[in-house]
């Protein structure tokens, strides 16, 4: 692919959170992206290297700025790594000032404004823009992302479940109703600020379910997968990673593992293997690892998916989407190898 090698000037809103810091890390190793604005309301005026010493070598002098859209004027692309509800107040102004927007939050993922109200408990303030955002799972929606000006990247749980199940639903290999998704995430998925359930004393040596029947990723999963499902998330005593175990009833005699191998053949960021995947092998990488089985005894199909919630589940996928939107090589700046041990 031939592309413009001009350095792309980018900004990050929400740069002081875990996802923002991961975006800074990945952009530092990207051959075409240059971070010129790192905005963070609660940390404005703080040096990035002071909050995250791991970024010192790449950003010794970078200071977090106020999250003012005017400060992004003329940038080629802006990443929004903000809590739900924050992006919808910025996007109408930002889209007039910057070339492209990649939103890592939940504000523009759902196509239906009424679904947003139902699951998030508040009215969407920019419903007219919902249909303009491409949905950010490249392996499933690449045709929408190429050249897109507005991108809403998928949530971490959604990415794990959709990569596991969407190919099988599309192939007619599993029933699109009665799907069950059990998934466990590391505590970094809850953000940098600790809560009563995520600080060390609570999360260490604990394993708990939460969001029973009401987790906000449920409608997004159903939209991405094309089916109806029951989703139960769990908090695991680890820093990074998601492991999703998905159950569905077969709708054909097709081998689900063979279908996944065929669907993801040539995909640089999806590994389909025989062994059950683990979160450890995905740490620091933009790869999802999958496997599947069909159990003739019980009549269920089981699909497992593991990924790093901060990389393929957030910042890495956002960079992957940005590469597609900008016409850059899709793999640019993205690691495929996890950390071991």
Same domain? 279 vs 179: yes
Query: Of 90, 79, 31, whose CA–CA distance to 325 is shortest?
Result: 79
Residue 185 lies in a domain: yes
Same domain? 262 vs 282: yes
Same domain? 90 vs 31: yes
Whether 156 is catalytic is yes
Same domain? 118 vs 171: no
pTM, two decimals, is: 0.95
Residue 107 lies in a domain: yes
* pLDDT score at 5: 54
Say how many domains are in the chain: 2
From 27, 156, 246, 321, the catalytic residue: 156
Each residue of 29-81: pLDDT tens digit?
999 999 999 999 889 999 999 999 999 999 999 999 999 999 999 999 999 99
Each residue of 149-184: pLDDT tens digit?
999 999 999 999 999 999 999 999 999 999 999 999
Query: Of 179, 190, 180, 234, whose CA–CA distance to 210 is shortest?
Result: 234
Same domain? 287 vs 174: yes
Residue 2 lies in a domain: no
* pLDDT score at 2: 42
Each residue of 136-145: pLDDT tens digit?
999 999 999 9
Same domain? 60 vs 149: yes
Each residue of 212-233: pLDDT tens digit?
999 999 999 999 999 999 999 9
Hey, what's the torsion of the CAs at 29, 190, 234, 271, to 10 degrees? -10
Each residue of 258-313: pLDDT tens digit?
999 999 999 999 999 999 999 999 999 999 999 999 999 999 999 999 999 999 99
Same domain? 142 vs 174: no
| Residue 194 pLDDT greater than 80, yes or no | no
* pLDDT score at 283: 97
CATH number reported for the structural domain that contains residue 84 in this entry: 3.40.50.720
Which residue range is the domain that position 31 belongs to? 8-153+312-326
Q: What is the 3-state secondary structure (H, E, C) of 295-337?
A: ECCCCEEEEEEEECCCHHHHHHHHHHHHHHHHCCCCCCCCCCC
Same domain? 135 vs 181: no
Same domain? 181 vs 106: no
**The two three-digit tokens of residue 37, written as one number:** 């604005």
């Amino acid at each position: 692919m031939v592309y413009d090698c001009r350095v792309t000037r980018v900004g990050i809103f929400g740069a002081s959170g875990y996802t923002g810091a991961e975006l800074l890390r990945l952009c530092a190793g990207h051959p075409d992206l240059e971070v010129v604005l790192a905005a963070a309301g609660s940390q404005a005026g703080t040096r990035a290297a002071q909050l995250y010493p791991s970024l010192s070598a790449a950003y010794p002098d970078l200071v977090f700025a106020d999250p003012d859209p005017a400060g992004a004027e003329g940038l080629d692309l802006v990443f929004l790594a903000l809590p739900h509800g924050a992006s919808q107040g910025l996007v109408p102004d930002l889209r007039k000032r910057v070339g492209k927007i990649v939103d890592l939050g939940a504000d523009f993922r759902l196509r239906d404004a009424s679904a947003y109200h139902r699951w998030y408990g508040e009215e969407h303030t920019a419903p007219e823009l919902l249909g303009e955002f491409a949905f950010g799972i490249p392996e499933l929606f690449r045709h929408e992302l190429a050249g897109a000006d507005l991108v809403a990247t998928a949530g971490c749980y959604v990415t794990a479940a959709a990569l596991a199940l969407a190919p099988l639903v599309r192939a007619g290999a599993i029933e699109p109703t009665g799907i069950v998704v059990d998934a466990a995430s590391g505590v970094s998925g809850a953000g940098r600020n600790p809560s009563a359930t995520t600080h060390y004393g609570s999360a260490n040596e604990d394993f708990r379910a939460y969001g029973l029947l009401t987790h906000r990723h449920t409608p997004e999963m159903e939209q991405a997968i094309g089916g109806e499902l029951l989703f139960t998330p769990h908090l695991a005593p680890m820093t990074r990673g998601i492991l999703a175990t998905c159950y569905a009833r077969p709708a054909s005699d097709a081998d689900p593992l063979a279908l996944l191998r065929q669907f993801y053949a040539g995909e640089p960021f999806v590994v389909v293997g025989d062994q059950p995947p683990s979160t450890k092998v995905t740490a620091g990488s933009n790869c999802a690892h999958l496997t599947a089985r069909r159990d003739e005894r019980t009549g269920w199909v089981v699909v497992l998916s593991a990924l790093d919630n901060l990389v393929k589940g957030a910042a890495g996928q956002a960079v992957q989407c940005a590469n597609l939107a900008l016409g850059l090589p899709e793999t640019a700046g993205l690691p495929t190898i996890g950390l071991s041990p």
